[in-house]
Amino acid sequence: MGQISVEQCRGARAMLGWSQSELAEAARVSRATVVDFERGLRIPHRNNLVAIREALEAAGIQFIPENGGGAGVRLTKKR
């Protein structure tokens, strides 16, 4: 599982309409962890970063790796 960027985290959260608090709750991390990450102040411990990514993926976010056009996110279609 690859690392996500600050921009991917903010973009994914925006697509879901989630606040930083809602993401923190879904990922079971502190709000400060999300805030500091999104501000670029620090990279969370690996387990917290994995929890953030998994919470976003569980909500329907797909992370797109860097492929020459830049990394990104998309909201998957609901089935």
Q: Which fold has domain 6-75?
A: 434 Repressor (Amino-terminal Domain) (1.10.260)
Answer whether 23's CB lies under 8 Å from 44's CB.
no
Residue type at 41 in one-letter notation = L
pLDDT per residue as tens digits for the range 13-39? 999 999 999 999 999 999 999 999 999
**Comparison of pLDDT for 22 and 77, the residue scoring more:** 22
The pLDDT of residue 19: 98
pLDDT per residue as tens digits for the range 47-68? 999 999 999 999 999 999 887 7
Which residues lie closer than 8 Å to 38 by C-beta, 6 or more apart?
6, 9, 10, 20
For residue 2, what pLDDT band results from cuts at 50, 70 and 90? low
Three-class HEC string of the chain: CCCCCHHHHHHHHHHHCCCHHHHHHHHCCCHHHHHHHHCCCCCCCHHHHHHHHHHHHHCCEEEECCCCCCCEEEECCCC
**pTM for the full model?**
0.90
For residue 1, what pLDDT band results from cuts at 50, 70 and 90? low
Residue type at 18 in one-letter notation = W
